[in-house]
Homo-oligomer: A and B are copies of this chain.
Amino acid sequence: MSKKDEILKASLVLFTEQGARATSTKSIAKQAGVSEALIFKYFGTKDNLLEELIKKDYFDAIDFTRVYLSSKSGKDFLIKFIELPIDLVDNQFDFWRMIYKIFPLNPIAQQYHNNFMKPSLKKLEKSFEALNYENPALEAEILLLFVDSIWKSYVSDKITKEKYQEISYVLKKRYNLI
C-alpha cells in the first residue's frame, strides 16, 4: 500500500470519527505513519484531500449502482431500489459512514451526493407510472426520501442490518411488490 493510500485510509477513519474540520493534518500524518509535509505534497490542501476521498468513492458507488439497477423496470426496479442501500453500504461501509457524518455541513459532499441520486428519481417515477400510481412524481420523491433515511439510520448505527431487512420487507409488501 502506497503512502498516498495510507493517507487516504487514515483520513477516512479520522474524518468519520470527528468530522473533517476537527481532524488535524498532524493526526492524519501520525495515523498514516508519514510526515505531515507529505500530505501537502500529495494533496495541496486538507480540503483537496477530502474532495479526492469523496470523489473516488462516489464514482465507485455510481458504478455499483448502475450495474445493480441495470435493465430493471416497474416492480423489479422498485424492489431492487429498496434493497440497494444495504448492499451498497456494506460494500463501502466506512465511506458512507463518513458521508453521513459530514454531509449537512459539507457542500462538496452534498454536490456529489445529488449527482449520485439524480438518475434514480426519474427511473422511480417511470416505475410508479408503469404501475399506474395516481401521482408518480410524488411517489418517487417519497420513496427516495425514505430509502435515503434508512441508509442514514443504518450507517449511523440507529438500526441493525436485521432491522433494515425487516423494514425493507414491510415496505415491499406495502407497495404490493411481493
Contact = CB atoms under 8 A, between A and B. Distances in A.
Contacts of A163: 141
Q: How many copies does the complex hold?
A: 2
A120 to B, nearest CB: 15
A131 interface: no
A51 interface: no
Given A142-B167, A145-B159, 17 more contacts: A18-B105, A19-B19, A19-B21, A21-B22, A100-B104, A102-B105, A103-B104, A104-B104, A138-B166, A138-B167, A138-B170, A141-B163, A142-B171, A145-B146, A145-B150, A146-B146, A149-B149
19 contacts: A19-B19, A19-B21, A19-B105, A21-B22, A101-B105, A102-B104, A103-B104, A104-B104, A139-B170, A141-B159, A141-B163, A141-B167, A142-B170, A142-B171, A145-B146, A145-B153, A148-B149, A149-B149, A149-B152
